[in-house]
Amino acid sequence: MIRTAFLSALLAIAAYTCSAWLTHDFQVWTAEGARRLEVALQPVAVPAVAIDGPGLSGLTLSQLLADGQSVTLVDFIYTRCQTVCLAAGSVYQQMQAT
């Protein structure tokens, strides 16, 4: 009887400990929440990205976004993509034309 009570208590403590560890002390319940919490606690530095475009030579993405006065659309296109990339590129071209 004592052995069963001891093992039950040990199992309950192990379950609590595992649950606390998996949920970051019960702060998150999904993998997406855990990812967001980890990024909030330890932000990842973004490398300097060179911008290429009309009148934008020599600028980095952080410099372009620093003014905060205009809307900036950024598109990363794989140059060897033959399917979705063409459609996305044409959408951005239409948005740029307006």
| Alpha-carbon gap, residue 28 to 19, rounded angstroms | 11
Do residue 30 and residue 52 come from a single domain? no
Q: Is the pTM here over 0.75, yes or no?
A: no
| Alpha-carbon gap, residue 70 to 76, rounded angstroms | 19
pLDDT of residue 48: 81
pLDDT, the chain, mean: 80
pLDDT of residue 93: 78
The answer to whether 75 touches 56, Cβ cutoff 8 Å, is no
Do residue 23 and residue 64 come from a single domain? no
Q: Domain count of the chain?
A: 2
Do residue 30 and residue 55 come from a single domain? no
Do residue 31 and residue 50 come from a single domain? no
Do residue 78 and residue 97 come from a single domain? yes
Do residue 51 and residue 91 come from a single domain? yes
The tens digit of pLDDT for each residue in 19-61 reads 888 888 888 888 888 888 888 888 877 678 887 777 777 788 7
Q: State which residues form the domain around 31.
A: 2-41
Do residue 98 and residue 81 come from a single domain? yes
pLDDT score of 75 more than 70: no
